[in-house]
Amino acid sequence: MIIELLVTSKAKKDITPAEISDILETSYKFNTENDITGCLLYHNGEFIHLLEGEQKKVQELYSKVVFDNRHTDVSKLIQNPIEKRYFSSWTMAFNEIPAINSANIKGYISINDFNNLTCSMNRSSTARNMFLYLTQTIITVKGKEI
């Protein structure tokens, strides 16, 4: 059974750019090897994960996040069976972090490209609607997009 899973987490307080880069690279590798699609947004210390894939593999990934000491306050918000995937691959977006060369990170898209992706997103699932709401909430400060 294919599911979608919406998860939020926070970065540990003293997370380094190298650790963020490792999370992004490890995510891409694991998700590609396990046919997990979706999107990860990192912004100002917060992660929002929308995962799609076989239930067993998605649950395995969720367990990895829960036990990863670089994440805190991990919350499973929504899990639903889905008939087909929305995302064709694994995508990650984050604001530029000077110590990370985003050009070297597979699956990376800029915040602007992420906004374009989410503007055209099919909103036919509760998880995608909540994902859109949460991502727009964390990348908007006092009504101004960053």
> pLDDT at residue 85 above 70?
yes
Mean pLDDT across 76-96: 77
Q: What pLDDT was estimated at residue 99?
A: 46
Q: How confident is the model at residue 25 (pLDDT cuts 50, 70, 90)?
A: confident
Right CATH for 2-145 from 3.90.550.10, 3.40.50.1980, 3.20.20.70, 3.30.70.100: 3.30.70.100
Compute the mean pLDDT over every residue in the chain, rounded to the nearest whole number: 79
**Alpha carbon separation from 62 to 5, 9, 146 (Å, rounded):** 9, 11, 29
Q: What pLDDT was estimated at residue 24?
A: 82
| Closest to 49 (Cα-Cα) out of 20, 74, 32 | 74
Query: What are 53-81's pLDDT values in tens digits?
Result: 999 999 999 999 999 999 999 999 999 99
Mean pLDDT across 111-136: 67
More confident residue, 102 or 139: 139
Radius of gyration of the chain (CA): 14
> pLDDT at residue 97 above 80?
no
> pLDDT at residue 46 above 90?
no
Q: What pLDDT was estimated at residue 10?
A: 92
Question: How far from chain centre, in Å, is Cα 4?
Answer: 12
Mean pLDDT across 7-21: 89
Segments making up each domain of the chain, as ranges: 2-145
